[in-house]
Amino acid sequence: MRKKAAARFIVLGLAGVLSASMLTGCRFGFASDPDDPNEAKKEEPIDTSVDTYPYDSSLEGTEITLLNSKAEIQVALDKMGAEYEKKSGVHVEVMPVTDGDSPYTKVVSLYNSGNPPTMAILDTTDVVALAGEKALDLSGEPWIGEAPGYVTEIDGKVYSLPLCIEGRGIIYNKSVIEKTLGEAFDPASIQTQEAFAKLLDRLVDAGMEKPVSLAKEDWSLGAHQLQYIYETYDGTSEGAQQVIEEIKDGKLDLETYGRMDQFTDMFDILKQYNVAKGNPLGADYDEMAIDLADGKTAFWFNGNWAWPNIAEAGAESDDPYGFLPYYMNNDENDFANSRIQASPSKQVMVDGQYADAKQQAAAKDFLKWIVYSETGQQMLVKTCNLIPPFQNNPYEPLDPLSRDIYEKMRKDEVFNASAIVPNDHWAVLGAAMQKYLADRSDREELTAAVQDYWAEQE
């Protein structure tokens, strides 16, 4: 009898622990989901009264598909497709890339099953990989003239439309800095690594313990930060390509390549003032946005795509947020210290293998509609909240981060360089960067990891 009671006690205890952990898991896990795309948001009204776009009535009834790899604009793209269908009679089905799938994997599996999307929003690297065999040559499209410097050419041909400009750098919260220091803050006054470090010191002295948020995500570390070593070579995509080729061929030794050292210098500064310094690999992405909005930190290394998170954390779209450059050294005349990186990141490719002539024509027309119609222009900026690369688009972005990049583009304070790296660059070298971030490796090991990675590429 006593044995039975003991057995019951053990079983009860175990069941209790298990069900309790399950319940708490559920409650916390689902209630705090910050990225619900269906959430109602304030929406900018679109003025559709004026529409001078010449619709092609012969395309009516055509059905095309668009694979979307930018989850945050899924709802907006649906609306855009519906609006276009109303005017042109062409049905645009927007298919999302589900969480966990990479856009490239998705598009490749669709191709292998013989059912690819008519259009696909992809990263530049993916377009380069697919261009030769699958993509439709868009070299004759008129919008190429509207985006000088932002169109990607592959072997002298254009295979994709640059959908938006994205930029990255050190996001600052101006009001927090001014409140902490008790004086006006002019971002343009910081032009060197030293000046930036001094500013951080002053913030610490004024009571802000750790002023920087540093994401642990491999895409942030491996792609957005580490790629500065290629992109700041001379601030152009060609220069980045050249430096990559030289590293690959063993002509350029990273040990002696100045930008590598400069980059780690800057990264060390961010590391030193990291709010999650005690446990940098435990840093939580959503918490970083909250810290920045609440004023626990003043800086966050990220890009303009982080705005929805910051807004969710309580920031308003007229708050003074902006970007500082990723300071590489103490030379005030170095472009890297006064310009931020901004380039067309998402590209729309049209299928040239399976789509019939009518579908291809409809897809081309849809792209033209985005660039030239009054409605398309507005929706690209207001509904999708993107920075348009097209000079004929008169609408200005609405959130402070995109607006900052938009203004810097107009003032020539950005550099347009994007390095085309292998698809696993961010994952493999992101891990190496995480190791460095956690102080589990040193500078030499990090440099060696980059060198080894390139040595393995054919």
Partner 1 sequence: MKSNKRGKDFCIFALPGMFCFFAVVIVPFIYGVYLTLTDWNGVAKVKNFIGLKNFGGVMKDTQFWTSLLLTFKYVIAVVILVNLIAFIIAYLLTRGIKGQNFFRAGFFTPNLIGGIVLGYIWQFVFSRVFVSVGESTGWNLFGVSWLSDPTKAFIALVAVSVWQLSGYMILIYVAGFMGLSEDVMEAASIDGATGWRKMKSIVMPLMMSSVTICLFLTLSRAFMVYDVNLSLTAGAPYGTTEMAAMHVYEKAFTSRQFGLGQAEALLLFIIVACISGIQVYLTKRKEVEA
Residues engaged in binding partner 1 (CB under 8 A): 4, 7-8, 10-12, 14-15, 18-19, 21-22, 24-26, 28-29, 32, 100, 102, 104-105, 108, 111-112, 129-130, 133-134, 216, 218, 278-282, 284, 422-424, 427-428, 431-432, 434-435, 438, 440
Q: State the nearest-atom distance from the C-beta of 453 to partner 1, in Å.
A: 11
CB of 423 to partner 1, least distance (A): 6
221 vs 229: CA distance, rounded Å = 12
User: CB of 142: closest distance to partner 1 in angstroms?
Assistant: 30
Instruction: State in angstroms the smallest separation of the CB of 353 from partner 1.
Output: 9
Q: Which is nearer to partner 1, 57 or 98 (CB)?
A: 98
Q: What is the 3-state secondary structure (H, E, C) of the chain?
A: CHHHHHHHHHHHHHHHHHHHHHHHHHHHHHHCCCCCCCCCCCCCCCCCCCCCCCCCHHHCCCEEEEEECCHHHHHHHHHHHHHHHHHHCCEEEEEECCCCCCHHHHHHHHHHCCCCCCEEEEEHHHHHHHHHHHECCCCCCHHHHHCCCCCCEECCEECEEEEEEEEEEEEEEHHHHHHHHCCCCCHHHCCCHHHHHHHHHHHHHCCCCCCEECCCCHHHHHHHHCCHHHHCCCCCHHHHHHHHHHHHCCCCCCCCCHHHHHHHHHHHHHHHCECCCCCHHHCCHHHHHHHHHHCCCCEEEEEHHHHHHHHHCCCCCCCCEEEECCCCCCCCCCHHHCCEEEEEEEEEEEECCCCCHHHHHHHHHHHHHHHHCHHHHHHHHHHCCCECCCCCCCCCCCCHHHHHHHHHHHCCCEECCCCCCCCCHHHHHHHHHHHHHCCCCCHHHHHHHHHHHHHHCC
How far apart are the C-alpha atoms of 384 and 363, rounded to whole Å? Answer: 19
Cβ closest to partner 1, residue 202 vs residue 435: 435
Q: Which is nearer to partner 1, 104 or 159 (CB)?
A: 104
Q: How far is the CB of 280 from partner 1 (least distance, A)?
A: 8
User: At closest approach, how far in Å is the CB of 284 from partner 1?
Assistant: 7
Residue nearer to partner 1 on the CB measure, 98 or 333: 98
What are the tokens at 14? 């175990």
Residue whose CB is less far from partner 1, 356 or 424: 424
Q: Minimum CB separation from partner 1 for residue 209, in Å?
A: 16
| Rounded CA Rg of the chain | 24
Question: Distance between CA 148 and CA 130 in Å, rounded?
Answer: 23
Instruction: Please state the closest distance from residue 220 (CB atom) to partner 1, in A.
Output: 13
Q: Which two tokens stand for residue 302?
A: 């990220």
Give me the least distance between CB of 29 and partner 1, in Å please.
5
d(CA 275, CA 209): 8
Which is nearer to partner 1, 76 or 432 (by Cβ)?
432
Q: Of 284 and 332, which has the nearer Cβ to partner 1?
A: 284
- Cα distance between residue 6 and residue 277, in whole Å: 47
Rounded to 5°, angle at Cα 64 from 59 and 65: 160
* Least spacing, CB of residue 355 vs partner 1, in Å: 16
Q: How far is the CB of 114 from partner 1 (least distance, A)?
A: 13
